[in-house]
């Protein structure tokens, strides 16, 4: 994603326990399957950005920002699901869009949404762009598809605006919300015009209901809680796109940092109170923890973290892990390069092929995209070498399915498509 994209929203719109060691937050491994969402995933989007992911225990749900420069030119939100966070299926191209009211804060754009699951409700805080540039709005949903916007007390119906922020910002964007101990915490990007040009910093507010917010001033410029880095650092030019999770000791944040040359990299910091942050230097360039990542979204699991992110200049979304096994790459039985099925797509039948380095019990299970088991294809012992299993499409409806090959020491998944 180009850094000049950040200029567009300012000017052009006129995983559950956290006992990990430090390296589990700063050492990231991109997955071989990247990108998990490519440039043709959503044909009505010229740019994809800022994914927000919720895992319900069975299925991953992603809401992502999108821009169609050849269409109406406004930013929206799309929605996709995945059984594993890697193989994604587009559910609906647009689930959140701009308002039809010319006086609404999101009359031009509605995007960059951050979604959390709160009880039986999905809650989204998003960036809206209208005549008053760059404020934050709120919507809720029961199914992730149909969203209801809620008008707030801020400018033109926003729930958090530049007056509430209290700084000299000309725009607010990229909200990141955590609910912890009954309190909602909001971190966001604020943009201000200064002597050196347009500068991005991170602000912070708290709320008891997610709608009425009180700014919490930090020690940074104009009360920012996270300011640009020192001269020569990877984030000396700007800090933006925060993604924050709760930890045992407070909060952890990953963010996009920009250096003097305009290169975007990923940074990491921790805080005990959400206001005072300590940078953690990584192994990347000038202290970055990831040299390629931009607009990250991180989920924590007991074993580590998963992150979905963009790469500067590419219209894709990729995935990386930290402290987590990569799946079949960590076992010696199945090679991810050997697992495939042919033909694909298929009408009547397809054959799954895999290779074992040692004799093993093999179970192959077919799932639909909701994560439900369609059938067990095979369950038995196979000798070392190449194994095959035939799948009939006669009893399957048209669509995409996930098959999982499980052995005694690992598992691997693939995707097949039935056409009628």
pLDDT digits 0-9 by tens, 127-161: 999 999 999 999 999 999 999 999 999 999 999 99
The C-alpha atoms of residue 387 and residue 401 are separated, in whole angstroms, by: 20
Q: Is the pLDDT of residue 266 over 80?
A: yes
Q: What share of the chain is helix, strand, coil (3-state, %, to 5)?
A: 5, 50, 40
Q: What is the mean pLDDT of the chain?
A: 86
The stretch 155-180 carries a mean pLDDT of: 96
Contact 143, 95 (CB under 8 A): no
Angle, alpha carbons 96-101-106 (nearest 5°)? 45
Q: Which two tokens stand for residue 254?
A: 């990953």
pLDDT in tens, 342-395: 888 899 999 998 888 788 888 899 988 767 789 999 988 888 888 899 999 999
The C-alpha atoms of residue 254 and residue 268 are separated, in whole angstroms, by: 5
Q: Is the peptide bond before 343 cis (omega within 30 degrees of 0)?
A: yes
The pLDDT confidence band at residue 71, using thresholds 50, 70 and 90, is: low
The H or E element containing residue 16 is none
| Structure confidence at residue 358 (pLDDT) | 80
Residue entry with tokens 């052009």: 12
Length of the chain: 420
| Structure confidence at residue 30 (pLDDT) | 85
Q: Which two tokens stand for residue 320?
A: 């990386």
Q: Is the pLDDT of residue 328 over 60?
A: no
Contact 309, 289 (CB under 8 A): no
- What radius of gyration do the chain's Cα atoms show? 22
The pLDDT confidence band at residue 307, using thresholds 50, 70 and 90, is: very high
The whole-model pTM stands at 0.75
The C-alpha atoms of residue 221 and residue 308 are separated, in whole angstroms, by: 30
When comparing pLDDT for 244 and 292, which is higher? 244
| Structure confidence at residue 25 (pLDDT) | 55
| Structure confidence at residue 18 (pLDDT) | 31
Domains parsed from the chain with CATH numbers:
4-324 (2.115.10.20), 329-418 (2.60.40.10)
Q: Is the pLDDT of residue 111 over 90?
A: yes
Largest CA distance in the chain: 70
% of the chain residues with pLDDT over 70: 89
Contact 287, 280 (CB under 8 A): no
When comparing pLDDT for 328 and 41, which is higher? 41
Eight-class DSSP state of 12: I
DSSP per residue, 90-133: EEEEEEE---S-TTSTTSSEEEEEEEEEETTEEEEEEEEESSS-
Local structure of 392: helix, strand or coil: strand
């Amino acid at each position: 994603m180009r850094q000049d994209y950040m200029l567009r929203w300012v000017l052009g719109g006129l995983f559950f326990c956290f006992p990990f060691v430090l390296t589990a937050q700063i050492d990231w491994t991109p997955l071989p399957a990247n990108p998990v969402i490519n440039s043709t995933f959503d044909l009505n989007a010229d740019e994809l950005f800022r994914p927000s992911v919720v895992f319900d225990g069975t299925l991953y749900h992603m809401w992502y920002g999108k821009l169609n420069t050849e269409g109406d030119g406004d930013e929206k939100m799309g929605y996709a699901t995945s059984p594993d966070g890697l193989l994604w299926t587009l559910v609906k191209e647009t689930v959140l869009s701009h308002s039809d009211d010319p006086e609404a804060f999101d009359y031009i754009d509605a995007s960059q949404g951050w979604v959390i699951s709160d009880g039986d409700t999905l809650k989204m805080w998003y960036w809206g762009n209208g005549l008053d540039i760059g404020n934050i709005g709120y919507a809720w949903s029961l199914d992730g598809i149909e969203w209801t916007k809620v008008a707030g007390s801020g400018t033109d119906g926003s729930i958090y605006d530049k007056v509430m922020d209290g700084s000299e910002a000309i725009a607010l964007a990229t909200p990141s919300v955590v609910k912890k101990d009954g309190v909602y915490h909001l971190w966001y990007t604020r943009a201000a015009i200064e002597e050196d040009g347009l500068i991005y910093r991170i602000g912070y507010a708290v709320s008891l209901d997610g709608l009425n917010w009180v700014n919490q001033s930090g020690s940074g410029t104009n009360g920012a809680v996270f300011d640009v880095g020192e001269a020569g650092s990877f984030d000396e030019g700007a800090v933006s796109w925060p993604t924050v999770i709760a930890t045992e000791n407070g909060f952890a944040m990953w963010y996009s940092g920009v250096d003097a040359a305009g290169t975007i990299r990923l940074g990491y910091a921790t805080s005990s109170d959400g206001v005072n942050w300590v940078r953690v230097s990584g192994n990347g360039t000038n202290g970055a923890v990831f040299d390629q990542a931009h607009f990250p979204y991180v989920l924590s699991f007991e074993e580590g973290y998963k992150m979905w992110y963009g790469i500067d200049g590419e219209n894709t979304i990729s995935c990386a892990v930290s402290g987590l096994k990569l799946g079949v790459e960590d076992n010696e039985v199945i090679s991810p390069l050997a697992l495939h099925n042919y033909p694909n797509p298929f009408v009547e039948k397809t054959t799954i092929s895999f290779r074992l380095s040692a004799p093993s019990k093999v179970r192959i299970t077919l799932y639909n995209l909701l994560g439900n088991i369609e059938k067990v294809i095979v369950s038995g012992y196979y000798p070392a070498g190449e194994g095959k299993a035939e799948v009939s499409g006669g009893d399957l409806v048209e669509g995409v399915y996930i098959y999982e090959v499980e052995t005694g020491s690992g598992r691997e998944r693939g995707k097949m498509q039935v056409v009628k």
